[in-house]
Amino acid sequence: MRLHFVLAIALASAANLAAQKKDTKKPAPASPITLTGCVERVESAPGQFTLSEQKGSQAYRLTGTDVRDYVGRRVQIVGGAPDSRRLKIAGGLTPSPNIAAQAGAMDPSRAVVAAATEAGGPGRVELPEFKVKSVRPISGSCAE
């Protein structure tokens, strides 16, 4: 009797485990995205490049395939967003060294406002990343 009970529990557990394995599907890979624009060198960061359609319009920080040979040229790139499951580490001091140096000399409400608005200050623009899989030059010129 006990043997039948133990076998029944073992079979039920095995069936439950098999059902769980069927439900674990890998997510389908995202379909590639095609963008067209001009490749530009980032002056403040050597070795980094951006793609933009026009000056002042949406720009993307390019990673993946090397695009240095296409600087100043109009291209069509194929790729997509980088894998968001990867570990990302952001560095820097919080609050900024300027605010931290003022420590007790600054009104706390001013310190909060300064810390909140400082990240969006000039020179701190974080462009969306686009991971390049392939690059193809196309006709057209890049406006300066």
- Residues 30, 80 contacting (CB under 8 angstroms): yes
What pTM did the predictor assign?
Answer: 0.54
Euclidean distance between CA atoms 48 and 24, whole angstroms: 38
Low-confidence residues of the chain, pLDDT below 70? 1-8, 10-30, 54-56, 83-100, 103-104, 106, 108-125, 144
Euclidean distance between CA atoms 89 and 81, whole angstroms: 17
Long-range contacts of 103-108 (CB under 8 A, 24+ apart): none
The correct CATH number of 33-84+126-137 out of 2.40.50.430, 2.40.160.10, 2.40.50.140, 2.40.30.10 is 2.40.50.430
Compute how many other C-beta atoms are within 10 angstroms of the C-beta atom of residue 96. Answer: 14
* Region label for 97, one of left (φ > 0), alpha (ψ between -120 and 50) or beta (otherwise): alpha
- The backbone torsions φ and ψ at residue 35, rounded to the nearest 5 degrees and listed phi first, read -125, 150
Give the model's pLDDT for residue 127: 80
Compute how many other C-beta atoms are within 10 angstroms of the C-beta atom of residue 43. Answer: 7
Locate the domains of the chain by residue range. 33-84+126-137
Residue type, 115: A
